[in-house]
Chain A
Amino acid sequence: MIKDYFVLSVKNLKHRGLRSWLTLLGIVIGVTAVVALISLGNGLQTAVASQFGVSSTDLITVQASGIQYGPPGSGAVVPLTTQDLTQIKNLPSVKAVARDIVPVKVIFNQKAVFSYATNIPSGSDRQFVYSQINAQAISGRLLKDGDIGKIVVGYNFYTDSNGFGKAVIPGNTIMIQNKSFQVVGILSRQGSFVFDNVVYMNQNDLDSISNYGNRIDIIAIEPASKDLVNRTISDVENLLLKLRNVKKDAENFQISTPEASLNQVKQILNGVQIFIAIIASISIFIGAIGIVNTMFTSVLERRKDIGIMKSIGATNEQIFLQFFIESSLLGLVGGIIGVILGEFVGIFGTVGINSFLGRHLPITISLGLILSALIGSFLIGGIAGIVPALNAAKQNPVETLREE
């Protein structure tokens, strides 16, 4: 029996004008936003996280804390020193390296661009750093011990939009801080605005263009195993408190783990997602009002039909049901369009993130998400239709039939 009302409602919907469908825009936009947001969630997180250079989850970084403008550690008041590094290296079961990030002027093709140079340590520390940044040469080779006057550049130098007017390729010579260097390799794309724009050089070369002395920007520490992360953090903290002669809660340094950074990223993303969710809810609410409006109009337009149906035996409940189902179906149609658009955004967004980051995030289509979006919009349509359908049901057949 209910099926008959669905059939009748579909027939009525088919004869709806453009106006009715336009009022669905709110539902469509809302559902699109929700579906896209949820199906893009993981991809977005990965994308934002990689902007922070976060990859390994068991790497601990230490930097001097101060007012930070520019790259991490550069604005520090009391910088970390090589002595700090040596002491940390003496802790049991840790590997530690110094990472310097130096602002530099790069000249190539007679154009100057300001960028950053970073050090690659020698010996076993080199492999440690390479594995941490997942270094792979997309062209040429990586730096090795004994390379002097040679550099590897980030992926963005390899593109035409690097600011030099011409892509940098292995074999080119470029000027850094007025010293000439030969490019021996290009790093594969990291998907990070920072890491793809950096010049990598051996420690001696970096020392020759900077006047850091024994100052260090960042100390990267890897505990021997993941279980030792917390223990290592407290060991390093105690050590530095002593070395730098500061009290706890007044530290002039900062220890962070990628996990903590990732949590920060998640928090930022959560904020964004809540914001979008609010916009989506407003838009769905407006969509629901639109359905209420178009259903009321429809009741007015079909007053005569209602009178006819009552005269041939339709009860008030049957009239109510017809308009109620019609309204639910309107919501459902909005939901279907929204789900299609949302999945479209989700799929193409993931493809976009993958090609931008050079990753292989899986494209997920969640049946549960689709179903709940459809059921949700069906229900919203139904709720929006209750009052108009009640209005339809209580039309007086004698009055409606008298109208011509």
Chain B
Amino acid sequence: MEKEKKKSVLIELKKVFKYYFMGENVVKAVDGISIKVNEGEFIAIMGPSGSGKSTSMNLVGSLDVPTKGHIFLDGEDISTFSESDLAQLRGQKIGFIFQSFNLIPNLTAKENVMLPMTFQGIPEEEREIKSEDLLEMVELGDRMNHYPSQLSGGQKQRVAIARALANDPEVILADEPTGNLDTKTGSIVMHFLDKLHKQGKTIIMITHEPELAEYHAEIVYWLRDGKLERTTRKKKGKRYVDGEIKRLVKARK
């Protein structure tokens, strides 16, 4: 058996807590999670609603800061970053893909893709070329000057993928990327995510669809009540062992 190459750790959550204080109640959205994500991995985070999936993604995506614990991105502890450093970090190292696409309605597809580069101060010509290339890559070369309202759901999500890639991020965070799409358009979107993974991008996907996780991800983290319940690893060259995920899903129900 060939020994697997040692991959470098890209993201590390070390005993991360996120509590929300609402009057006398404390909502423990994330309750001491520790996870390591290596460069180039395709990770899925699964769990019922309220399990802390979205909160953990916001923490990894540096949209939110933990109540306690440390988050390392590329070896740097981002829990100590200032707000504007976090914004810079998001712009440069993280690409978001949301369930509801979240394109800016007043901007065309191309302008939406250019926007993250604008915030990084990249010159206009460069932005134009890059955004055109990215939209070509997601096969929307003929839709560049359309506004989001003129695009279908699947097309919007492909624009969002192109936008997420604008600044060559280290990691793509996809929050239920197919949640608002039918199976067919969803699979097209997943095809592009797979393509990115093959190109070496690290992908963290939140989903509640076990089939999706089983088919695309290498590692699935199960969350429940803010805690990491279980980790499932796909063996090299194989799909998940004997539909283990399906069995787990069944067991939970």
B-binding residues in A (CB < 8 A): 1, 4, 8, 11-12, 14-15, 304-305, 307-318, 397-398, 401-402, 404
Query: What's the nearest-Cβ distance from chain B to residue A11, in Å?
Result: 6
Q: Are A311 and B106 in contact (CB under 8 A)?
A: no
* The 7 A-B residue pairs with the shortest CB-CB distance in the complex, in nearest-first order: A313-B91, A315-B87, A312-B116, A315-B84, A313-B119, A15-B106, A308-B102
How many angstroms from the CA of A304 to the CA of B102 in the assembled complex?
A: 8
Q: Are A314 and B98 in contact (CB under 8 A)?
A: no
How many angstroms from the CA of A314 to the CA of B117 in the assembled complex?
A: 10
Q: Which of B50-97 contact A (CB under 8 A)?
A: 54, 58, 61, 63-64, 83-84, 87-88, 90-92, 96
Q: Are A316 and B83 in contact (CB under 8 A)?
A: yes
Nearest residue, chain B, Cβ from A393:
B83
Q: Are A397 and B63 in contact (CB under 8 A)?
A: yes
How many angstroms from the CA of A8 to the CA of B87 in the assembled complex?
A: 19
Q: Are B87 and A310 in contact (CB under 8 A)?
A: yes
18 A-B pairs whose Cβ atoms sit less than 8 Å apart in the complex = A14-B106, A305-B104, A305-B106, A307-B102, A308-B102, A310-B87, A311-B90, A312-B96, A312-B116, A312-B166, A313-B88, A313-B92, A314-B119, A315-B88, A316-B84, A316-B87, A318-B87, A401-B102
Query: What's the nearest-Cβ distance from chain B to residue A254, in Å?
Result: 70
Q: A11-B107, A309-B119, A313-B87 are in contact. Are A398 and B163 (CB under 8 A)?
A: no
Nearest residue, chain B, Cβ from A394:
B83
**Residue B202 at the A interface, CB < 8 A?**
no
Chain A residues in 8 Å Cβ range of B104 = 305, 308-309
Chain A residues in 8 Å Cβ range of B107 = 11
How many angstroms from the CA of A309 to the CA of B84 in the assembled complex?
A: 13
Chain A residues in 8 Å Cβ range of B167 = 313
How many angstroms from the CA of A15 to the CA of B91 in the assembled complex?
A: 26
Chain B residues in 8 Å Cβ range of A312 = 90-91, 96, 115-116, 119, 163, 166
How many angstroms from the CA of A308 to the CA of B91 in the assembled complex?
A: 11
Nearest residue, chain B, Cβ from A311:
B96
**Residue B120 at the A interface, CB < 8 A?**
yes
How many angstroms from the CA of A115 to the CA of B103 in the assembled complex?
A: 78
Query: What's the nearest-Cβ distance from chain B to residue A348, in Å?
Result: 38
A interface footprint on B96-128 (CB within 8 Å = 1, 0 otherwise): 101010111111000100011011110010000
Chain A residues in 8 Å Cβ range of B105 = 15, 305
Nearest residue, chain A, Cβ from B117:
A313
Q: Are A401 and B87 in contact (CB under 8 A)?
A: no
Query: What's the nearest-Cβ distance from chain B to residue A96, in Å?
Result: 77
Q: A11-B106, A304-B102, A316-B87 are in contact. Are A311 and B118 (CB under 8 A)?
A: no
Q: A310-B87, A313-B88, A313-B167 are in contact. Are A398 and B58 (CB under 8 A)?
A: yes
How many angstroms from the CA of A315 to the CA of B121 in the assembled complex?
A: 12
How many angstroms from the CA of A398 to the CA of B96 in the assembled complex?
A: 13
Q: Are B102 and A317 in contact (CB under 8 A)?
A: no
Q: Are B61 and A315 in contact (CB under 8 A)?
A: no
How many angstroms from the CA of A15 to the CA of B166 in the assembled complex?
A: 25
Q: Are B98 and A401 in contact (CB under 8 A)?
A: yes
Chain A residues in 8 Å Cβ range of B96 = 311-312
Nearest residue, chain A, Cβ from B121:
A1
How many angstroms from the CA of A4 to the CA of B64 in the assembled complex?
A: 27
Interface centre among B63, B105, B166 (most CB of A within 10 A): B63
How many angstroms from the CA of A89 to the CA of B58 in the assembled complex?
A: 100
How many angstroms from the CA of A12 to the CA of B106 in the assembled complex?
A: 6
Set B83, B90, B98, B103: member contacting A313, Cβ < 8 A:
B90
How many angstroms from the CA of A316 to the CA of B111 in the assembled complex?
A: 20
Chain A residues in 8 Å Cβ range of B103 = 308
Nearest residue, chain A, Cβ from B114:
A4
Q: A8-B118, A11-B106, A15-B106 are in contact. Are A314 and B87 (CB under 8 A)?
A: yes
Query: What's the nearest-Cβ distance from chain A to residue B30, in Å?
Result: 13
Chain B residues in 8 Å Cβ range of A304 = 102
How many angstroms from the CA of A220 to the CA of B228 in the assembled complex?
A: 107
Query: What's the nearest-Cβ distance from chain B to residue A253, in Å?
Result: 75
How many angstroms from the CA of A320 to the CA of B244 in the assembled complex?
A: 50
Q: A11-B107, A12-B106, A304-B102 are in contact. Are A311 and B83 (CB under 8 A)?
A: no
How many angstroms from the CA of A33 to the CA of B163 in the assembled complex?
A: 48
Chain B residues in 8 Å Cβ range of A402 = 54
Chain B residues in 8 Å Cβ range of A311 = 61, 63, 90, 96, 102
Query: What's the nearest-Cβ distance from chain B to residue A56, in Å?
Result: 64
Chain A residues in 8 Å Cβ range of B87 = 310, 313-316, 318
Q: Which of B152-195 contact A (CB under 8 A)?
A: 163, 166-167
How many angstroms from the CA of A240 to the CA of B90 in the assembled complex?
A: 92
Query: What's the nearest-Cβ distance from chain A to residue B218, in Å?
Result: 25
Nearest residue, chain A, Cβ from B107:
A11
Set B63, B98, B120: member contacting A310, Cβ < 8 A:
B63
Query: What's the nearest-Cβ distance from chain A to residue B10, in Å?
Result: 18
Q: Are B106 and A313 in contact (CB under 8 A)?
A: no
Q: A310-B63, A311-B63, A311-B90 are in contact. Are A317 and B100 (CB under 8 A)?
A: no
Chain B residues in 8 Å Cβ range of A310 = 63, 87, 90
Query: What's the nearest-Cβ distance from chain B to residue A219, in Å?
Result: 76
Q: A11-B107, A398-B63 are in contact. Are A313 and B120 (CB under 8 A)?
A: yes
Query: What's the nearest-Cβ distance from chain B to residue A15, in Å?
Result: 5
Nearest residue, chain B, Cβ from A310:
B87
Interface centre among B102, B111, B120, B121 (most CB of A within 10 A): B102
